[in-house]
Structure formats: C-alpha cells, structure tokens
Amino acid sequence: MKKQDICWMSAADLAEAIKTKKLSPVEVIKTFLERIESVNPEINAYVTVTADSALKEAKKAEKKVIKGGKLGPLHGVPVSIKDMIFTSGVRTTFGSKLLEDFVPDEDAVVVSRLKKAGAIVLGKTNTSEFGFKPLTDNLVFGITRNPWNLEKSCGGSSGGAAASVATGLGPLAVGADGGGSIRIPSSCCGVFGIKPQHGRVPRYPAFSGGELITHEGPITRTVEDAALMLDVIAGYHWGDGYSLPSPVSSFARSLGRGVKGLRVAWSPDLGFATVDPEVKKICERAAKKFFQMGAEVEEAHPGFENPEVHIGNIFGGDAVAALSVLGPVEGFIDKVAPLTAAMLFVSGELKASDYARTLFAKHEMALKSGKFFQKYDLLLTPTVAGPPLPVGSDDPIEFLKWIPFAPVFNFTGQPAASIPAGWTKDGLPVGLQIVGRQYDEYTVFRAAAAFEQASPWTHRKPSPG
C-alpha cells in the first residue's frame, strides 16, 4: 500500500487494517508525521506536533497487536486535538499570548477517552483566540489557510482541526463548538463535523466560560468515523455538571437505515438570514436529495428571531468573567487580538439583567425549537450564509451576517452537523446543516450517512500536498 493511500483511509479502515495486521501502528503514525512535515507548513493546521510521544505510543500499540491483546475500537488510529482542549504535558495556548506557555498537568476527558480507545495523539490544531472568531488566526501561531484556496479562510474556530482532516493529516480531529466552531470550518473545508447534544461529551478540565453553549465533538471525513469517535467520547463524567448519561446504544450502529419516511423541514434562511444565491442553490439541491431518498420534505422554520445580541452577551460576559482570573483587563489588553479587546471592553459594561434577558431568550428559543420538532424529525439549513471569507477578515458585523445559522443551535443545545453539500463554481466547499431534535444524534447520523452514500464527497481532495 502506498503511503499516500494510508493518509486518506478512514479511521474505521485504519483500525481494521491494524487489527488484522495489514498495517502496523508504527507505519501508520510515521506516514502521517511525514505528511504533516510536508503539507502543514503551507496550511498551518497543526501548531504543536507531538512526534516523539506519538511514535512511542505507536510502538506500544504495535506490541499489543503482536501479542494478541484486546484492542480498543480506535487502536493505533491517529487523532488531533484542538489547542483549546487540555492535554497533559503538551502546551495548550487557546491561541492567546496570555496562555502561550500554559502546559496542563492532566488530559481533558475527551482526550483520555480517546487514548483509552487506542487512539494516538499527533498534536494540537490551531484556533482563533479563545475561540471568539469564526476564522482561524491568532497572535501566537498566525493564520490557518483553507486547503481548497489558500487565500480563503478555513473557518473557525476549530479551523486547524477541519483543515487537518481535509488535507489528509489525520482522519480524526477533536473540535469545540460554542457558536458554530465545529460546523463552520467543516463547511469551509469540505468535511463532516457534528456538534453533539449539549453535555453529550463532558468538558473537564476546561478553562472557565461557555459552559451553557459549548460542545466538544468530532471532525472527520466520513460520517462513520464521527459516529465511532462519538461512541468513544460520549457519556457522563463527574467533572462536568452538564454531562449526560452514556448513550443507550451505539451511534455507529444507527447508520445504514436511510431516510425514508422521515419528516424533514428545509429552511434557506431561518426566517432572518441573508444567503449568498449560489450557496442557497447548492443547499436547496441537497435538501431535494432527501426527498429523492424517500423523506417527506417541506420548507418551514421554527420562527426564531436573530439571536446575535444574545450570542454576544454570552460570549462577552463569559470572557470577562473567565479572564478575570488573569487580573484586571487593563493589565493584559495589549496582549490580545483587537476583536478580543473590543469584546472585553464592551462586555465589561454588561449588567446582570442583560445576561438574565439572554438566558430568558435562550429558554424561549429552546421552547420554539421543541415545539417545531414535534412535527419534524430534522431541520436542514445552510451551514454558513456564504462561501469561505478571505483570510485576515476581521469585521464582527461581517462575521455575524456570515454565520447566522450555527449559533442558534448552541442556544437550544440540540445536535447539529455539517455535511458537504457541494462545491461552488470557484471550487470552494459548501456545507448543509442537519439539525436533530433534542438528544437525537442517531437520526442526524442516519440522515448524514444516507446523504453521504447518495452524494459522496470523500473522493474530492484539495491540492495542497
């Protein structure tokens, strides 16, 4: 098998090849590390590569295979971790000079569970500063570029994760999503990403802030890989008061059932967004595919109001509170990006009543969604309102117009995924968002897998590398 072929294998296929001794964990990890060394300088997806520890773990994994020991479901499979998620002994900067030298002394739950399942961490992927920006750049590591067009953004804030998967730098990536940060870069990079139900994946330990709206989850090329990954990382943990009990059944086993008979709503704008005509056309065509596959599809939306003010209140209020542990804002404001500085200054004036109104609005939105999903099994929307933005964009008003669809479902907490719906005439990916009812990732996976089979995307590869 050619080394290039190994880098484009799914995690499921890699795990099977390792289990049956067709590939060795050492061979797999060395191959990915070589590709990272070759391709990453152009993309800047990885900001820290843990080559030595990855090879050490690969040798242990290989010995276990040889001895015939019991193997985890992801034994020997490489994974990357967003640089906002704790990794023991490995620098975790949050994309900020304020934490440029921070090295956690323990793994986050998601990391420890992946390791227990046999996955091998290749390193940390780039993010915007504290995940505040829907593009991926920061003052520590610079810009992560879109592999389909290096002058375009890869989205954010889990842009390094999505770009790494899109360029064959690893089949599995962990992202975090507080307002679209898994789904937005997945759309921009032409890969699959799912924000699970809030609390499905425990967040511990974690930098304070965002507990009400942040989700951790998979970014992968295939739907099956994401389901396998979520099977591993989901389930209750005492360190996260919002964490849910373990799922009643495997997400991976929910695949292959098709969408026949499902009641699907399609909304091109959620009633308030302005959408690029080409993006709308591509997503509308994708929605029609669900009808062709046997689902009942009609245009409808839950009647939401644009939540952008409330999103700003939660992000800003949480940021002010979380960063206060580092001292008064005035003491470090010159060390953060302009967007972060502006958010801190504006949010420092928020009143408790402002935050309370936001919580009331959040509850009202969840009620509207709950009522809407009494009638429908799924809701389809564009993932973002336009194609990827140019690198270096820094206008918060432009950002809000570009990402109206994603943050809504951080407010409601329900599962939502982005699948590649198609490509623009300029060769840029466009994502379709699939939203499920509360606690029902199963139907989201089921629908995404059916679409993947009907309109495959994994054969398309960007040119870098």
Residues in the chain: 465
Q: Is 431 left (phi over 0), alpha (psi -120 to 50) or beta?
A: beta
Distance between CA atoms of 423 and 421, rounded to whole angstroms? 7
pTM score, whole prediction: 0.97
Is the pLDDT at 430 greater than 90? The verdict is yes
| The pair of three-digit structure tokens given for residue 33, joined into one six-digit string | 């590390």
Q: Which fold has domain 3-454?
A: Amidase signature (AS) enzymes (3.90.1300)
Q: Where exactly are the structural domains of the chain?
A: 3-454
Residue type, position 4, single letter? Q
- Nearest-CA neighbor of 252 among 442, 99, 455, 57? 442
Distance between CA atoms of 325 and 311, rounded to whole angstroms? 22
Alpha carbon of residue 192 to chain centroid: 8
Eight-state DSSP code of residue 8? T
- Nearest-CA neighbor of 251 among 25, 117, 449? 449
- Nearest-CA neighbor of 126 among 84, 87, 88, 98? 84
pLDDT at 208: 66
Element holding 431 (H helix, E strand): strand 429-436
239-279 residue pLDDT tens: 999 999 999 999 999 899 999 999 999 999 999 999 999 99
- Candidate list 24, 158, 181, 369, residue with the active-site label: 181
Distance between CA atoms of 146 and 144, rounded to whole angstroms? 7
- Candidate list 96, 128, 153, 157, residue with the active-site label: 157
- Four-point Cα dihedral 174, 182, 281, 305, nearest 10: 160
170-215 residue pLDDT tens: 999 999 999 999 999 999 999 999 999 999 999 999 986 678 899 9
- Candidate list 10, 64, 82, 152, residue with the active-site label: 82
Percentages of the chain per state (helix, strand, coil), in multiples of 5: 40, 15, 45
Residue 181 annotated among the catalytic residues of the structure:
yes
- Nearest-CA neighbor of 220 among 209, 208, 231, 206? 231
Distance between CA atoms of 432 and 415, rounded to whole angstroms? 14
